[in-house]
Amino acid sequence: MLKKNAIKNLILSFFLIASVGVFAQQKVTGKVTDGSSGGGIPQVNIQIKGSSVGTATDFDGNYSITTKSASDVLVFSYLGYKTQEIKVGSKTIVNVKLAEDASSLDEIVVVGYGSRKKSDVTGAVSSVKSEELNAFPVLDAAQALQGRAAGVVVQSNNGGEPGAPINIQIRGNTSISASSSPLIVVDGFVGATMPQPNDIQSMEILKDASATAIYGSRGSNGVVLVTTKKGRIGKLTVEYNLNYAVQNTVNELDLLNADQFASYHRAINPAYSQGPANTDWQDLLYRVGSTANHQFSFSGGAENVNYYASATYFKQDGVIINSEFERISFLSNLDAQVTDKLKLGLNLFGSRGNQDGVPTQSTGETANGGGDDIVSSVFRFSPDLGVQDANGANTINSVGDDIDNPFAVATEGVNETKVDNFRANFYAQYDIIEGLNFKTTFGYSTRNRTLGTFRPSTLITTAGNGTGGRATIANDRATTVISENYLTYNAELGKGKLTLLAGYSYQKNSTDRFSTGAENFTSDSFSYFNLGSGATQLIPTSSFTASEIQSQFGRINYDYDDKYLFTATVRRDGASNFAANEKYAIFPSAALGWKVSNEKFMEDVEKISNLKLRASYGVTGNQAISPNQSLARLGSVFAPINGQSVINVTPGQIANPNLKWESSFQTNFGIDLGLFDNRVSLSVDYYNIDTKDLIMADSSQPQYFGFLTSNSLRNVGEVNNSGFEITLNTRNISNENFSWTTDFNWSRNRNEFVTLLNGEDLFQDASPGYFNIDRTHVLREGEAVGVFWGYEYQGVYQGGDLPAGTALLPGRAAGDQLFTDLNDDGEITPGEDQQIIGDPNPDFSYGITNNFRYKNFDANIFFQGVAGGDVMNLTNVQLFNGDSNATTAILNSWTPTNTNTDIPRAALRGKEISSRFVESGSYLRLKNISVGYNIPTDIINKYGIDNLRLSFSGQNLLTFTNYSGLDPEVSFFGAGGGNSASANTVRGFDFGNYPTVRSFTIGLNLKF
């Protein structure tokens, strides 16, 4: 949507191309101003008509261009203004006043295999521009989407961990077992890695089937189209961007000190003897972190060639000691107009990321799952112990499971992930005849990732003591080859405009992996770089998988009289990983749009500058089948016989020739409304997505068959998502010196399981392994995805008769937890007295951005929030169960003399999941507040600088929430971690995730 003044200002940070004559025939200069306010407009595109020579205005609206002849016509165009053409003649100064375009929604948005004018789009598409992506520094461009686009949920896989993957979810959760992440397409490369935020020109989020069905079997989670920056003809521009931020944790827990801790544990175990120290583990492990981002770029173009190249260095020191992330990345886009008809280009991207982390999220297999998790260990570990005991050995916890102290784990363990990414995409584009264009691309990408871990012998329980240290190394390399070829035909047929697209695509993905490891090293100094010296070698593994997709696709766009819009798409995907009887699938969609405001009867309705109605329906798929998953297979197990592991085969899985993709049937209705010359623009979308043929493990297959994969996959489930999305953009004030714009988005998604296998509940577990709990979430027909499962807490038992309808777990006494006794048998029995106790799905989520500009100052205030949605405070389940440290809330435990409390007596008990720990996860967060200043050009021009901007900002400074834990944005997914198949359906748990951070950032933008 249009926000011209905000754009004007923010663009200054990134683009300012002053013009310098390239061909010294006739130099024309001038200033482009806003027709109403009179202010200069930066970044106006100026092109000599019929040639590829062009330039753009500078920050103040000034430009300079060299023309070849007096008959040249200059074309001035800028988003939100009517394009003007002026014949140069003999003039050397051409000043232009651009008039605002009432129907100025004609922003170009990228769609699959092409682009459309925004006003002609019939699907549900959100655009996020460079300036929004870079309003504050982020590690990953996906992070910058949070709160920016309606219907798009963005969450870090692991709080503020340096280098943590960022998950995007569009319009809810359409799968159980397959990824719910959207397809990422970068400059036409399907399934690419996200480039650096500074290199991104725009991101388009395709949400409804009309927009995504062109991506067929990969479209059902939505599609994110990323367009990187390109060079422009004109002066060579060199740019340097710097961001530096200091960070700390948004919150800490109020834990017991050594004396409080000892007295609490003496209440549980009178024999407990207090340790010698008083350690604040949070102080010891948390630090002030920092991020630094340096980006250098140059761009420009001559008559036939334009180029953009950048190098970025990012470094983050996390807020937990010894957790770091470093990345170097390069991007280069080169386009050459070889002849009038032929254009060639090459996009290159390369990066190296190096994450040197600490274990978090309790996903480790050591110490019964989670014993080396820094974050939860910080809370669990006894404060009356120091880092080392009197003998110089690392301490292990004096209560509960034996775990190493978190300081030792953080400082002595090694967890390194190195990722190399490379991507190249070559294209050729040829205008065959007027209106008919052929484009072919040929691309390759590879992602090479190595994970190394090391635990020295000094760590007692994390595979240390007795095993003499443990080191592992794992590598996976994924490669993609892609070729896409398509014809685009444009024609004007009377009042109608027709665009046809037809194409063919082939893509091959393959992944090879290996892992190995060793134990019992002669020295702790090898890290994971001398596996051969380990006396015990772990079992090495390796594997290879490949899949191919070949597709035909097509699209018709027909616009009649700029009033009636019709779009239809179809894609036929054939995929090798589809089962033998279901190799091919067809995904169609159709959409209608009606630009009501262009009708005659609307001409007199002055207040309404734009009104468009949209409707679409289509089918998309989800490639939830892994390679070889439908084939009969033999598997093998670890078989130690006669002192060594031996080769073996065991029935692995039975063939399933009918397994097919998951299909989403999506309906979308939308309305776009612009009022008062589009000073107010509003979009509202309603959608309904029925996802059928969900691939689920067929738990109805008897286990006595004895296959290694006991539950073969079947297409059985159905889930429904429906919701509303509202986007409202207003230009509240806009004049030469001051502007104020507001962008607001709001979305609400409802989901529900319609069908599960035989209508049976599916239980899932997202608790750490050492909790010894089997069920924490349930999938149930008629319920939302991933609701919580547990006991309903009824307060503390005061002794005497049990209050009606409540009971205790066996062996409990006064002061213990009362739960609802569902089967009314007088005692609480696992499996019989548990019920749904919470729903992590928010009622709605929203984002509000206000942009202000006063002269050379600008400011951005961005709030983001969710309402509704429960959080399970699993941290408290741990901290109140008597085998660890606790928060000071425990001081109010029930005792015979302190009975008026909700906190049970100090006792050792099982880690029972109950409604006691379910809290509202609603929050409103000041995500960003920033102030920027552009040094006036008349000062810096003297030094040859085109633009110099300074900015100060703060992220996550304020959070309004009733949540009692550290942070309501939680990201714990159980022992499998955030990448496990179940991560879709086990949301809302708070435990051991890396802390969310608060940052203060300074930024510098320098352009020559």
According to the binding rule CB under 8 A, does residue 401 interact with another protein?
yes
According to the binding rule CB under 8 A, does residue 532 interact with another protein?
no
Which member of 288, 338, 605, 958 binds another protein (CB under 8 A)?
338
According to the binding rule CB under 8 A, does residue 272 interact with another protein?
yes
According to the binding rule CB under 8 A, does residue 365 interact with another protein?
yes
Q: How far is the CB of 584 from another protein (least distance, A)?
A: 8
Both tokens assigned to 322: 């010894």
Residue 104 φ/ψ, nearest 5 degrees: -85, 40
According to the binding rule CB under 8 A, does residue 450 interact with another protein?
no
Sign for the pseudo-dihedral over CA of 212, 216, 222, 225: negative
Which of 294, 295, 296, 293 lies closest to 317, judged by CA?
293
476 and 449 Cβ atoms separated by less than 8 Å? yes
CA dist 710 and 959 (Å) reads: 46
Nearer to another protein, 111 or 463 (CB): 463
Q: Which stretch binds another protein (CB under 8 A): 122-130, 530-538, 836-844, 980-988?
A: 530-538
According to the binding rule CB under 8 A, does residue 29 interact with another protein?
no
**Per-residue x/- track, 476-505, another protein (CB under 8 A):** -----x-xxx------------------xx
**Per-residue x/- track, 710-749, another protein (CB under 8 A):** x---------------------------------------
720 and 689 Cβ atoms separated by less than 8 Å? yes
Q: Which stretch binds another protein (CB under 8 A): 45-53, 142-150, 435-443, 843-851?
A: 435-443
* Interacting residues with another protein between 869 and 928 (CB under 8 A): 881-883, 908-911
**Measuring CA to CA, how many Å separate 884 from each of 334, 365, 380, 774, 964?**
59, 20, 5, 21, 19
**Per-residue x/- track, 238-267, another protein (CB under 8 A):** ---------------------------x--
Alpha helices in 573-725 (DSSP H): none
Say how many residues touch another protein, by CB under 8 A: 118
Q: How far is the CB of 709 from another protein (least distance, A)?
A: 10
| Amino acid at the residue 749 | N
CA dist 402 and 396 (Å) reads: 6
Q: How far is the CB of 441 from another protein (least distance, A)?
A: 8
* Interacting residues with another protein between 106 and 135 (CB under 8 A): none
According to the binding rule CB under 8 A, does residue 831 interact with another protein?
yes
* Interacting residues with another protein between 673 and 702 (CB under 8 A): 699-702
Task: Output b/e per residue, 119-157; b: 16+ Cβ within 10 A.
Answer: bbbbbbbbbbbbbbbbbbbbbbbbbbbbbbbbbbbbbbb
Q: Say what the alpha-carbon torsion angle 157, 160, 166, 172 is, to the nearest 10 degrees.
A: 60
* DSSP at 899: -
Which member of 51, 92, 536, 658 binds another protein (CB under 8 A)?
536
According to the binding rule CB under 8 A, does residue 296 interact with another protein?
no
According to the binding rule CB under 8 A, does residue 643 interact with another protein?
yes
Task: Output b/e per residue, 841-872; b: 16+ Cβ within 10 A.
Answer: bbebbbbbbbbbbeebebbbbbbbbbbebbbb
250 and 967 Cβ atoms separated by less than 8 Å? yes
Which member of 492, 774, 825, 843 binds another protein (CB under 8 A)?
774
Q: How far is the CB of 104 from another protein (least distance, A)?
A: 37
662 burial (CB, 10 Å; 0-12 / 13-18 / 19+) is buried
Which member of 95, 523, 525, 542 binds another protein (CB under 8 A)?
542
448 and 419 Cβ atoms separated by less than 8 Å? yes
**Measuring CA to CA, how many Å separate 127 from each of 338, 386, 912?**
31, 53, 45
Q: How far is the CB of 651 from another protein (least distance, A)?
A: 5
Judged by phi (left if over 0) then psi (alpha if -120 to 50, else beta), residue 237 lies in beta
Q: How far is the CB of 811 from another protein (least distance, A)?
A: 7
Which member of 20, 639, 733, 939 binds another protein (CB under 8 A)?
639
Q: How far is the CB of 277 from another protein (least distance, A)?
A: 14
Which of 128, 151, 154, 10 lies closest to 925, judged by CA?
154
Which member of 50, 392, 494, 706 binds another protein (CB under 8 A)?
706
Nearer to another protein, 43 or 547 (CB): 547
Both tokens assigned to 370: 């989670």
Q: Which stretch binds another protein (CB under 8 A): 212-220, 339-347, 564-572, 658-666?
A: 339-347
According to the binding rule CB under 8 A, does residue 642 interact with another protein?
yes
Alpha helices in 269-317 (DSSP H): 281-285
Nearer to another protein, 544 or 738 (CB): 544
Q: How far is the CB of 200 from another protein (least distance, A)?
A: 26
Which member of 282, 323, 441, 691 binds another protein (CB under 8 A)?
441
Q: How far is the CB of 906 from another protein (least distance, A)?
A: 11
909 and 884 Cβ atoms separated by less than 8 Å? no
Q: How far is the CB of 464 from another protein (least distance, A)?
A: 7
Q: Which stretch binds another protein (CB under 8 A): 74-82, 643-651, 797-805, 928-936?
A: 643-651
Which member of 35, 114, 350, 400 binds another protein (CB under 8 A)?
400
According to the binding rule CB under 8 A, does residue 704 interact with another protein?
yes
511 and 448 Cβ atoms separated by less than 8 Å? no
CA dist 237 and 862 (Å) reads: 30
Which of 984, 210, 49 lies closest to 614, judged by CA?
210
Nearer to another protein, 516 or 856 (CB): 516
Q: How far is the CB of 68 from another protein (least distance, A)?
A: 24
Which member of 268, 328, 935, 950 binds another protein (CB under 8 A)?
268
H or E element that contains 380: helix 374-380
CA dist 120 and 107 (Å) reads: 10
Q: How far is the CB of 541 from another protein (least distance, A)?
A: 8
According to the binding rule CB under 8 A, does residue 640 interact with another protein?
yes
Nearer to another protein, 402 or 562 (CB): 402
Q: How far is the CB of 600 from another protein (least distance, A)?
A: 46
Beta bridge partners of 927: none
